[in-house]
Each structure stands twice: as C-alpha cells, then as structure tokens.
Amino acid sequence: MAILVTGANGFVGKILLDKLLNTFPGQQIYNIDLKPVNRKEVNDFTCDITDKDSLKKIILDNDKVSLIHLAANIFTDNVPSRFSRKKFFFDTNVYGTDNLLDVFKDKISSISFLSTDMVYGTPESIPISTSHKLTPNGEYGLSKIEAENLITTYAKSQSIKYFIFRPRLIAGPGRYGLFLKLFYLIKNNFPVPLIGDGTNRYQFISVYDCADALIHSLKPNSVAGIYNLGSENPPNVNRLLNTLIESVGSKSKLVKTSPTLIKNALAFLDLVNLSLLYPEQYLIADKDYLLDTSGLKDKFGFTPKYTDIDMINAAYKDYLNL
C-alpha cells in the first residue's frame, strides 16, 4: 500500500506522519506540501495544490495510492479581511482539492479527508449528528462543504472508499489558537472573560486522536462514510477552565459577559479587519456545542482517547515552554 499525504508538514500532518511511519514501516509514503518534511522515508513533492501544472509534473511510482488530504487554508494569523476571505479559503480548500482529484484520478484507491465541524454552523440540535443541516457561519465552513462534495462525487463515480472526518476544535502541542490569549490571562492571574455564563460545552478533539482516526481509515475493513471527531463527555466551560486554573495555581477568575454585547463588538472588529475572533468562532462561543460521535464508535470502530481536561492541561504546559 502506498500513501499520498497532502500537508504532512502541517499541525495534524506532522503527528500523522510519525504514526504512519511506525504503523506501516517500509511502505511508500509521498507528501505534497509547500514545505518538505525532509524525512528519508518520505518522497517529498514541494508543490502548491492550487497550481495544477505543478501537480501534473509529479510522478508517483505506484499504480495506486491511498490519499490522505490535509492541505488547507485554515484560521491563522494571515487570514485576510472579510471581503477577501472567500478567495483565501476557496483557492486551496476547493480548487486545490479539485486539482488533486483530477490530476491523480487514475491513481487514487481511497480518500481520507479532514474537514471541519464548522460545516454545521450554529447547532439546531444537540448532539450534532452528521445529518445535521449544513449552514456554516462563514467562508471557511462553506469551502469545506464544497470540498466534501467534490470528494464524495469523485469517490462514488470511481467506486472507491471515502472517509470524511469533521473534527471539533483540534488541540495539541504547537497549536494554540484561541488558547493563546486564554493562557496568557491565566498565567498572569488576570480575569478570564467568557462569552455567556460558561454553562455550555465547548468540545475538543486531540490531534493524536485525529491522526489515529485517519490511520484507522486505511484498514481494509474500515467502513467508509462521514464521521464526527470529538472527545467523550466534555465538561462545561466553567468546569473546564476552573479545573485548569486550580491545577496551575492561578488566581484568575471567570467573568460572565453578555453574549449579545460581546458578539456585536466582535462583529464590528471583524468588519474593520481587526478580528479577535472570526464569525465561525464567536457565533457559537456561548452555545452548547457537542458532536454526536456514535457513528465513529459503532460504525467506524474508533473511540478517541483524550479528554478535554487532558488536552487543555497539556496545551498549557506546552505554552509555558514558549
């Protein structure tokens, strides 16, 4: 079995690559990314998936490959202003995906794709099942829906297996995102403002569990489909943050705020390109948000190992080493 990974030099990709090399020693692994991983066991192709001509120059020695598609534009510090955001996400997430499927259409034997829970938007029911209506709150979620559609259409036309994973907020060493400001406040004993009263759940998923689920999809008996990725039994925000604050000896206190007031302020800041949070983040910040992972366990045969408290504690310890 040969494996073609896109984005192996990214946050999830680095963890996945280590696990692939340990799980499938001696197997041919290819990587397409903007930067090489520089591992002797991996055949690197430095390429932008939005550049179809560059993709066409890639030669794979194997007749068939299992594609694990991670390459994407996500919420990072270089996200452009609101009016340029759709192009930023669609160029890579949609058109880049389309390029991959077209260039390697005769090579792909299965597809495993890391999508996002942001395809759901503001939840209408809890827990959120994979059949929940797809009404994203922004361009990122919309771009992932379009990519999912490309993958499912392609896989069905070729009669190959596809696995689409919709992860909740991915936590792990090296990615802080929303945690960065939170950890700064806790470290310095400052008050921690909440959006709402903190009685809602804000589920995570470990980067290690994401990587393990992707590897599980490579097993011959894995059942294809669309799956949510989320932790088991997440606590509410009050318990999660107070547990962290107490465990690290901080004097920080949680401060409840008006969701309407805060969301209006964040919307204005986003409009004038001074974004503290993006709509897909702040619009659900006070909502009880829990993914239904029953299909992941019962149909796919996979159960995440890490709890939300495990993840936030580990992330904080890693933050202290910055």
Give residue-wise pLDDT tens across range 208-229.
Answer: 999 999 999 999 999 999 999 9
pLDDT band at 79 (very low <50, low <70, confident <90, very high): confident
Mean pLDDT, range 289-295, rounded to an integer: 97
From the list 232, 219, 235, the residue with the least C-alpha distance to 294 is 232
The answer, yes or no, to whether residue 59 has pLDDT greater than 80, is yes
In whole angstroms, give the CA distance from residue 270 to residue 139.
13
Q: Is residue 295 scored above 90 in pLDDT?
A: yes
Architecture of domain 2-176+204-230+290-304: 3-Layer(aba) Sandwich (3.40)
Does the pLDDT at position 77 exceed 80?
A: no
Please check whether residue 129 is in contact with residue 292, taking contact to mean a CB–CB distance below 8 angstroms: yes
Per-residue pLDDT, 178: 81
DSSP letter for 222, please. Answer: P
Q: Which residue has the tokens 């903007």?
A: 34
Q: Which pLDDT belongs to residue 81?
A: 83
Tokens of 4: 């073609």
Tokens standing for residue 196: 């709402």
Q: Going along the chain, which residue ranges are E strands?
A: 2-6, 29-33, 42-46, 65-69, 108-114, 161-167, 169-171, 192-193, 204-206, 225-229, 254-255
Q: In this predicted structure, what is the pLDDT of residue 277?
A: 87
- Assess whether pLDDT exceeds 90 at residue 68: yes
> Domain map of the chain by residue range?
2-176+204-230+290-304
Q: What is the tens place of the pLDDT at every residue in 250-265?
A: 999 999 999 999 999 9
Could you give the CA distance from residue 12 to residue 10 in angstroms, rounded to a whole number? 6
Local confidence band at 307 (pLDDT 50, 70, 90 cut-offs): very high
What backbone phi and psi angles, to 5 degrees, belong to 172? 165, 175
| Alpha carbons 114 and 309: distance in angstroms, whole number | 23
- Residues 91-108 have a mean pLDDT of 97
As a 3-state breakdown, the chain gives helix, strand, coil percent values, each rounded to 5, of 40, 20, 40
Place 45 in a pLDDT band, splitting at 50, 70 and 90. very high
Confidence at 275, pLDDT banded by 50, 70, 90: confident
